[in-house]
Amino acid sequence: MVAVKVNLGTLFKKHVRDDVSGATIASGYKDMFLFEVQVHDFTYTARFQGFTEKSVGEINTIWFLAVVVAGVLVQTLTGFAMGLIIMVGVALFAIADIAFTAAVVSFISLVNALVAMRKGRHHIDWSLAGWMLAGSLPAMALGLYLLTYLSEHYYEMLRLLLGLVVILAGASLMISPQPFETRSGNGSFLGFGALGGILAGMYSVGGPPVAYFAYRQPMTINTVRFSLLAIIAGSTVVRALMVLVSGQMTAEIVTVSAVSIPVVVGVTLVASRYMQLVPDRVVRVAVFVVLIAAGASLIIDSLVAFGFFHP
């Protein structure tokens, strides 16, 4: 038995604005947010109330969770694209800051990977995972630095680059790469791991280049799938530690992540019952169209902001 109970107030409702500029200088938690997922005799409850000041802009938590639900649905039905859907949805509708969203996506991806890995650890190719993580982790530090720098100085450039990444990732969904006859060298794993690391550091979406290259290896589907989950789990843990050490881990990131996790669990449990009713090809085409359109919209919005043309 699966039961999902939702009682939504407004988690980020109170906003304090500067009297002169009108800019938001503080906002916080107010009213009640309650989300419960019950599976048989186990119940996970997320409940928050009160007010805590914060120095970031307004975050629409209800819409944020709606985008999370969309990402989890796609992930459950196809096994991919959760991070991409969440990042592009939040950025496109300006629901929250990109750096904030990337941090939350890291926690969500970690939980999702650990749950999915629980029965398939024996399938993991630790050599592949190890070499890709070795390339990913130093590059992730570079990606996190670029995220911080662009967020502070060139935010529209950060959105434009996200649009490009989303379009390329969307296009890759329609490609069915043929496996190599022989296994690639460790240097190639390092290189693609580094590319994924940069994207993971910037947007928490390092999966597409790593997955594309891993699926070209002469391995079973289960070996590739669970090896990728191990890479995701390892990289998200390290990314969270980097964010923590750099002083960018905030109470808001932890709170929204804690709220999102039961949403991910509940939606996954419900959607997994119906995943066989939806043809994989239909979902892939739909996600492809959505990602291409959303990526193009981000690019156009950024170019308009740069003043290159007027819509």
User: Using an 8 Å Cβ cutoff, are 67 and 86 in contact?
Assistant: yes
In a domain, 223, yes or no: yes
In a domain, 196, yes or no: yes
Question: Do both 163 and 29 map to the same domain?
Answer: no
Question: Do both 145 and 218 map to the same domain?
Answer: yes
Question: What does pTM read for this prediction?
Answer: 0.75
Measured at the CA of 90, the angle between CA 87 and CA 92, to 5 degrees, comes to: 100
Question: Do both 95 and 136 map to the same domain?
Answer: yes
Question: Do both 155 and 47 map to the same domain?
Answer: no
Q: What is the pLDDT of residues 50-91, one digit of tens each?
A: 333 333 344 678 889 999 998 888 777 766 678 889 999 998
Question: Do both 124 and 85 map to the same domain?
Answer: yes
In a domain, 74, yes or no: yes
Domain extent, residue 125, equals 59-306
Question: Do both 79 and 219 map to the same domain?
Answer: yes
Question: Do both 187 and 224 map to the same domain?
Answer: yes
Domain count within the chain: 2
DSSP class of 54: B
Instruction: Map tokens 């109970």 to a residue.
Output: 5
Q: Rg of the chain's alpha carbons, rounded to an integer?
A: 20
In a domain, 311, yes or no: no
Question: Do both 162 and 288 map to the same domain?
Answer: yes
User: Using an 8 Å Cβ cutoff, are 264 and 72 in contact?
Assistant: yes
Question: Do both 265 and 240 map to the same domain?
Answer: yes
Sign of CA dihedral 265, 103, 59, 51: positive
Q: What is the pLDDT of residues 219-267, one digit of tens each?
A: 888 888 889 889 988 999 999 999 998 888 888 899 899 998 888 888 8
Report the alpha-carbon distance of residue 196 to residue 136 in Å, rounded. Answer: 6
Question: Do both 174 and 47 map to the same domain?
Answer: no
Q: What is the pLDDT of residues 277-292, one digit of tens each?
A: 777 677 778 888 888 9
Phi–psi pair at 59, nearest 5 degrees: -120, 120
Question: Do both 76 and 45 map to the same domain?
Answer: no
Look at residues 54, 76, 97 and tell me which one is the last residue of a structural domain: 54
User: Using an 8 Å Cβ cutoff, are 120 and 109 in contact?
Assistant: no
Look at residues 39, 54, 69 and tell me which one is the last residue of a structural domain: 54
Report the alpha-carbon distance of residue 157 to residue 134 in Å, rounded. Answer: 28
Question: Do both 11 and 89 map to the same domain?
Answer: no
